[in-house]
Homo-oligomer: A and B are copies of this chain.
Amino acid sequence: MAAVDLSAHPGHLARRLQQAHYLLWNTMVSEEITSPQFAVLNALVAEPGLDQRSVGERVGLDRSTIAEVISRLGRRGLLDKVRDTQDGRRFLLRLTDEGVRVHRKLTVRTARMNQVFLAPLSGEEQTVFFDLLQRVSDAAEGLRNPGAPVAPLVTQR
């Protein structure tokens, strides 16, 4: 009766979009390296020697998640992690040769995948799509913290 149509819920659509992407990535790009892992490799190609926190900032991952992703990439031998001698809190990250090689290979495949992913949209629609996606995300990002916390669902006794 009071049920709602989920297709009018942006959150639901966002989740579906990500699932769709995950699926395509798995079949067209790699079953070993994930999309967030590629994002990290990419950030380190652009700025070698970055520390963990900064990489997380570039790719949009919090301190805990970025630590996990980096540890996995380290285990796979795609990057090295060394203490910063200037600031003993930091770890400096740098791709290994293998890391660079994998990044290069994935860059090509990713481009192909993006084409397939966006194929249902015309060129103009693709531009609009990026724009809308970015604007909504940026706006929500800007809303961090300031709001008062939600009232709990159940009144605790």
Bound state CA distance, A107 and B118, in angstroms? 32
A7 at the interface (CB under 8 A from B): yes
What is the minimal beta-carbon distance from A77 to any residue of chain B, in angstroms?
10
A106: chain B residues at CB < 8 Å are: 153
What string of 1s and 0s marks CB contacts (under 8 Å) between A99-125 and chain B? 000111111011000101111110001
Q: How large is the interface on A (under 10, 10 to 19, 20 to 34, 35 or more residues)?
A: 35 or more
13 further interface pairs, Cβ-Cβ under 8 Å (given A12-B60, A106-B153) = A4-B110, A6-B39, A8-B114, A10-B133, A12-B59, A14-B17, A20-B141, A23-B140, A27-B143, A27-B149, A117-B140, A121-B136, A132-B132
**Complex-state Cα separation, A19 to B136, whole angstroms:** 11
Contact B117 A42, beta carbon cutoff 8 Å: no
Tell whether, in the assembled complex, residue A1 and residue B45 are in contact, meaning their CB atoms are under 8 Å apart: yes
Q: Closest chain B residue to A125 by CB distance?
A: B132
Partner of A150 from the list B13, B27, B137 (CB cut-off 8 Å) is B27
Within 8 A of B (CB), among A30-47: 30-33, 35-36, 39, 42-43, 45-46
